[in-house]
Structure 1
Amino acid sequence: MLIDLASRIKNIGFDIRCVSAEQAVNELRQNNGTLIDVRESVEVAKHPVLASLNIPRGILEMKALEHFQDASIPLYIHCASGVRAKLAAEQLMHMGYSNVSVVTCSIFTINEVNEK
């Protein structure tokens, strides 16, 4: 039986913290966290978010272990629509990362806020 994506997102087993771009940027300036862009490289090439580390969702689990040895490091996840970011946040939480947030805004908003 296939589960539609909306149901999948609604039934994520964790309480995922969602933040605005302004909130994420303000926190990142204070906590030395990392903004992770889980879009595919082709998408990032067209509309980059300069302050983020691009790790496509499909390889996030492998790369997270390489980049983030400390499971308490603040991680802020974003994508184009929020769907991949929420799925990525869920997976990171399953892996043991305890300080994960999803940035809920467009990629253009993140760049605008970051430039301030």
Structure 2
Amino acid sequence: MLIDLKTRIENINFDIRCVTAVQAVNELKQNNGVLIDVRENSEATNHPVPAALNIPRGILEMKALERFQDASTPLYVHCASGVRAKLAAEQLMNMGYEKVSVVTCSVPTINQANEK
């Protein structure tokens, strides 16, 4: 049986922590976490988030272990709509990362929050 994306998101087996851009920026300043942009390279190039590390969703699992060797590193994941971010957060949690949050607002809000 095929499962549509909406059902897939609803059936994620983890309680994924969701935060606003303002919360993420404030926490990042305190906890030395990492903001991960899981959009494709072209999206990140056209609408960059300066504070974010761009690791496209398609290669996240391969790059995460190289970049984040401490499972307790706070990771904040965002994309354009939140769908890829939730899927990415689920994968990171499946891999053993302990502090994963999804940023639930639009990219421009993150840029504005960084300016404050």
Report the TM-score, using the length of structure 1 for normalisation: 0.99
Tell me how far 1:2 sits from its aligned partner: 1.2
Q: 1:13-62: CA deviations, max 9, x gaps?
A: 00000000000000000000000000000101110000000000000001
1: CA distance between counterparts of 2:2 and 2:51? 36
Cα root mean square deviation, aligned: 0.4
1:33 matches 2:55:
no
1:83 matches 2:83:
yes
Unpaired runs of 5+ residues, structure 1, are none
1:113 matches 2:113:
yes
Q: What is residue 66 of structure 1 aligned with on the other side?
A: 66
Aligned length: 116
Partner of 1:76: helix, strand, or coil?
strand
Tell me how far 1:108 sits from its aligned partner: 0.5
Q: What is residue 96 of structure 1 aligned with on the other side?
A: 96
Unpaired runs of 5+ residues, structure 2, are none
1: CA distance between counterparts of 2:45 and 2:24? 22
Runs of 4+ displaced beyond 2 Å: none
2: CA distance between counterparts of 1:51 and 1:115? 11
1:8-27 pair list within 5 angstroms: 8-27=8-27
Tell me how far 1:96 sits from its aligned partner: 0.2
Report the TM-score, using the length of structure 2 for normalisation: 0.99
Q: What is residue 46 of structure 2 aligned with on the other side?
A: 46
